[in-house]
Amino acid sequence: MIDLIVLGAGGNSLGILDAIAAVNEIAPRYRVAGILDDIPENQGRLVLGHKVIGTIAQAGEFAGCRFVNGISSIGSFRRIPDIVARTGMPVDRFESIVHPRATVAGSARIGCGSSIMAGSVLCPESVVGDHVIVLQNTSVNHHSRIGDFATLSAGVTILGYIEVGRNAFVGGGSTLAPMVKVGDGAIIGAGSVVIRDVPAGRVFAGNPAREIADSRYADRSVAIT
């Protein structure tokens, strides 16, 4: 059994814990040792029966455990690299979690510490980097590449030969046309249809997606789910 600690007590962690439980139903593989979260009010809280046992910086106190990040929202996604770094753990101490109801082609590749949720599909020759969150019912088509620390929300369609940059955020229900490039740290608003490249750090939304100066997204205060 692998002792596993989930980073974060929010909504994405629910999906990760559900995926872990589903894996264990097929063949026991993981024991959830607990959850680490920096919000003081969450200390001691139970999430799907698993307790918040400390803060992110306390990861080093749990010798022998492996980790997976569950923190990503429009308010926190840019901090994922820092959150992972604060554990002090090398990349090989992070476990990738794949829900049994996800479909992963034999030639697809998944990095360390990534989570692939139920109903999602990684097609042949697709690549998902380290610490990527792929939420439910999202597809990554052939030859597309998802950069480290990126978030693909639920119901996203990534078509062929697409590049999604490091630490980018793609909102739920979005579709990206073939060969589009989304730059590092960019945001794609929920329900968007992206037919042209999105520069690094910019916010695009709509059908067709265009750059917006919407304070709801620019100040990261409203979730894109």
Closest CA to 70 of 21, 123, 107, 16: 16
Catalytic residue among 50, 99, 131, 142: 142
∠ CA 168-169-175, rounded to 5°? 110
Beta-strand ranges (E) seen in 56-177 are 66-69, 97-98, 103-104, 109-110, 115-116, 121-122, 127-128, 133-134, 139-140, 145-146, 151-152, 157-158, 163-164, 169-170, 175-176
Closest CA to 185 of 105, 80, 35, 115: 80
Residue 131 annotated as catalytic:
no
Closest CA to 38 of 52, 26, 18, 22: 52
Element (H, E) at 53: strand 50-54
As annotated, the active-site residues are 142
